[in-house]
Structure 1
Amino acid sequence: MNTVTLEEAQAQLPELLDRLQPGEEITITAQGQPIAQVKKAERTSWPSKAGSYKKPGFWMAPDFDAPLDDFKEYME
C-alpha cells in the first residue's frame, strides 16, 4: 500500500492517480495519521460487446423476427 502526505497529495494528485493501477490504493496521511484512502476505480469495457447481456430471465421468442401476418400483402 502506498502512503503519501497530505502536502504531497495536494501537489501531485493527478500524477499519483495516473500511476495507480485499477484497484490499487493510496493512503493520505497528515501528521503521521491516515486521514483518507484513494482507490482507483476498475473500469468496465465500454461500449459493451455484442452478446454480453447476462440478465437472468431474459427470453425472446424464436420467431420474433418472422414477418407479421398483417403485413403479408405488402411483402408479396
Structure 2
Amino acid sequence: MSAVSISEAKSNLSRLIAAIETGRETEVVIARGGRPVARLVPVAAAPDAGRRLGLLAGQYPTLTLEAFDAESERIAALFSGEAT
C-alpha cells in the first residue's frame, strides 16, 4: 500500500492505475493534508453469471396464438369476478 497526496494523484493518475492493474500495488491511499480521504483499489471481476437466456428452453410446451386466445374470455371473467 502506498499513500499519495491529492496533487500527486492528479499528476500521476495513469501511473497509479497502471500499478493497480499490474498488481504492483494492491491499494493506493489518497490523502489531503496528511489525512487519508480515499482509496484506489482494483475492481473485483464480476462473477460469470453463465448463460441465462433460454434457461428453461424445452421445459414448457409451446403456446400457440390460438391456445392463448382461447383463454382470453376465461381470463377476462376471472378479472371481472364473473368466473365460477
TM-score by length of 2: 0.48
* Deviation (angstroms), 1:27: 0.4
Structure 2 gap ranges (5+): 59-84
Q: Which residue of 1 aligns with 2:6?
A: 6
Q: Distance in 2 between matches of 1:17 and 1:24?
A: 10
* Deviation (angstroms), 1:42: 2.8
Q: Distance in 2 between matches of 1:3 and 1:54?
A: 41
Q: Distance in 2 between matches of 1:15 and 1:43?
A: 21
Q: Which structure dedicates a bigger proportion of its chain to helix?
A: 2
Structure 1 gap ranges (5+): 62-76
**Runs of 4+ residues deviating >6 angstroms:** 58-61
Deviations 1:8-58 (A, max 9, x none): 10001011111112x92110011110111111113359xx6xxx8399xx7
Q: Which residue of 2 aligns with 1:17?
A: 17
* Deviation (angstroms), 1:60: 7.2
Letter in 2 for 1:25: E
Q: Which structure dedicates a bigger proportion of its chain to strand?
A: 1
Quick one: percent identity of the two aligned structures? 21
- Which of 36, 49, 53 is the matching residue for 2:50? 53
User: Rg larger in 1 or in 2?
Assistant: 2
RMSD: 3.0
